[in-house]
């Protein structure tokens, strides 16, 4: 009896990494994906420059994984930012570190990296099966796939699932796997938007005038229901429905959880982070003569455009005549957010297969021989290279686990 190939289902970074580990370890690997080609979300992420990882110190890096740090840390200790850069260099792709500490391929793009990677995978014997949508198991335990030629059954003793979360469904991450695993008794936390925008309920006047405008150089503070203040400096964008952008994404997990707990959340914006409140009040109190309040704010504090619009959106007109109240609003403008944007609009998703359902090799305890990797696991992280690094690391860990399992459970030679 010949050995069965290991089935890797999902062709994102985690699935491709698992396939590479397996193939280099001597396993026969069949990789299945529902889309016409692999790596689609990776290519989308690289449109503005593929942020592979981050160069900050390990402790700060690990802290980005929040409540799931304890589960993600062993994966990153085995294959972290430095190891990832070495691996990328092995594909013939140079990297550089930007001024923000983020790490990118020298050409910034994802396509050259993906091409080199796929070439190496094929050279290592990985077989790709496109337009194969996984539909669970049949009554005999074989994998079911919907293909353009009809349903296909595949017997596999070892399986790596790397099916993504629930964001950007058009690129393949549909979350359709959730009920398939839930039906088998696997613990799956509900998928939620992460690194997402939020609705605010703008007035029609503000929406019409400022949708699409960036709000730069501000500090956002969220005080959660436990009284802990979370501060972040950066910029965001006003949208037709609310807010989005890097500053909002950095706080999105806590904002989303606060909305779940309290029904809404308030982010306080410091519109003039470089100026202390006493000086700000002094500048506001200076006589403005015949100048309008808009010109006074612009000339004294550099507050104009969308920042001035935000002040008028949220504070009473009478407060503009009181330097102390106006100054207080400039330093801590309350922005109420009422709901996250839909999951499919999010950059990534939280929720997924819980780590409690997995062993240390990322194998599902109740489904021996079935391993999970990537965004379908229950963790989240901000943008900045943290998402991709953990996807690569979890794919490697699942690949190593699956390799060890396949060697233990499958015969190495024909028995005749």
**How confident is the model over 105-128, as pLDDT tens digits?**
999 999 999 999 999 999 999 999
pLDDT interval class at 1 (50, 70, 90) = very low
Segment 283-295 mean pLDDT:
82
In this predicted structure, the answer to whether residue 51 has a pLDDT above a threshold of 90 is: yes
In this predicted structure, the answer to whether residue 301 has a pLDDT above a threshold of 50 is: yes
pTM, rounded to two decimals: 0.90
Averaged pLDDT score across all residues of the chain: 93
The pLDDT value given to residue 334: 96
Quick one: residue 39, left, alpha or beta (phi over 0 = left, psi -120 to 50 = alpha)? Answer: left
3-state helix, strand, coil in the chain (%, to 5): 40, 25, 35
CA angle 139, 140, 145 (to 5 degrees): 75
In this predicted structure, the answer to whether residue 414 has a pLDDT above a threshold of 50 is: no
Alpha helices in 161-245 (DSSP H): 177-182, 204-210
pLDDT interval class at 408 (50, 70, 90) = confident
The pLDDT value given to residue 2: 45
**How confident is the model over 164-222, as pLDDT tens digits?**
999 988 888 999 999 999 999 999 999 999 999 999 999 999 999 999 999 999 999 99
Question: Which part of the chain is CATH 3.50.50.60?
Answer: 6-190+351-409
Q: Shortest CA distance to 374 belongs to which of 404, 347, 401, 398? A: 398
The pLDDT value given to residue 289: 78
Measured over the CA atoms of residue 187, residue 190, residue 191 and residue 193, the dihedral's sign is: negative
**Architecture of the domain whose range is 6-190+351-409:** 3-Layer(bba) Sandwich (3.50)
pLDDT interval class at 409 (50, 70, 90) = low
The pLDDT value given to residue 116: 97
Q: Shortest CA distance to 234 belongs to which of 218, 215, 210, 222? A: 218
Q: Shortest CA distance to 195 belongs to which of 235, 265, 248? A: 248
The pLDDT value given to residue 294: 83
The pLDDT value given to residue 290: 76
**How confident is the model over 251-273, as pLDDT tens digits?**
999 999 999 998 999 999 999 99
Alpha helices in 273-385 (DSSP H): 277-285, 293-301, 305-314, 323-331
In this predicted structure, the answer to whether residue 244 has a pLDDT above a threshold of 70 is: yes
Q: Shortest CA distance to 373 belongs to which of 82, 142, 71? A: 71
Label the pairing between strands 159-161 and 6-9. parallel
């Amino acid at each position: 009896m010949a050995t069965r190939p290991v089935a890797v289902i999902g062709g994102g970074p985690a699935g491709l990494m698992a396939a590479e580990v397996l193939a280099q370890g001597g396993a026969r690997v069949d990789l299945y994906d529902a889309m016409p080609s692999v790596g689609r979300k990776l290519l989308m992420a690289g449109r503005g420059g593929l942020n592979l990882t981050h160069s900050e110190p390990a402790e700060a890096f690990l802290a980005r994984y929040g409540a799931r740090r304890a589960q993600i840390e062993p994966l990153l200790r085995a294959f972290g930012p430095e190891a990832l850069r070495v691996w990328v260099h092995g594909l013939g792709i140079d990297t550089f570190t930007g001024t923000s500490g983020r790490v990118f391929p020298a050409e910034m793009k994802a396509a050259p990296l993906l091409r080199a990677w796929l070439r190496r995978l094929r050279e290592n014997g990985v077989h790709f099966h496109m337009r194969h949508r996984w539909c669970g198991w049949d009554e005999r335990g074989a994998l079911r796939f919907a293909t353009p030629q009809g349903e296909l059954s595949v017997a596999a003793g070892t399986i790596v699932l790397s099916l993504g979360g629930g964001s950007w469904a058009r690129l393949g991450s549909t979350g359709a796997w959730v009920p398939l695993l839930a039906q088998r008794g696997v613990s799956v936390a509900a998928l939620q938007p992460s690194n997402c925008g939020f609705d605010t309920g703008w007035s029609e006047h503000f929406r019409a005038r400022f949708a699409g405008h960036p709000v730069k150089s501000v500090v956002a503070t969220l005080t959660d229901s436990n009284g802990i203040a979370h501060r972040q400096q950066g910029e965001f964008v006003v949208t037709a429905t609310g807010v989005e952008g890097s500053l909002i994404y950095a706080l999105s997990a806590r904002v989303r959880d606060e909305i779940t707990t309290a029904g809404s959340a308030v982010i306080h914006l410091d519109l003039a982070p470089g100026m202390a409140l006493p000086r700000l009040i002094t500048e506001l109190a200076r006589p403005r003569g015949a100048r309008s309040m808009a010109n006074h704010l612009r000339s004294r504090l550099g507050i104009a455009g969308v920042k001035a619009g935000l002040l008028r959106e949220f504070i009473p007109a009478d407060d503009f005549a009181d330097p102390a109240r106006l100054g207080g609003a400039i330093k801590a403008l309350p922005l109420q957010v009422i709901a996250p944007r839909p999951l499919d609009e999010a950059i990534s998703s939280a929720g997924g297969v819980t780590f409690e359902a997995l062993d240390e090799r990322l194998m599902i305890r109740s489904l021996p021989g079935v391993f999970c990797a990537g965004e379908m696991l229950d963790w989240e992280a901000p943008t900045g290279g943290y998402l991709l690094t953990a996807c690569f690391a979890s794919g490697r860990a699942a690949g190593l686990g699956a390799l060890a399992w396949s060697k233990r459970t499958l015969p190495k030679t024909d028995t005749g």
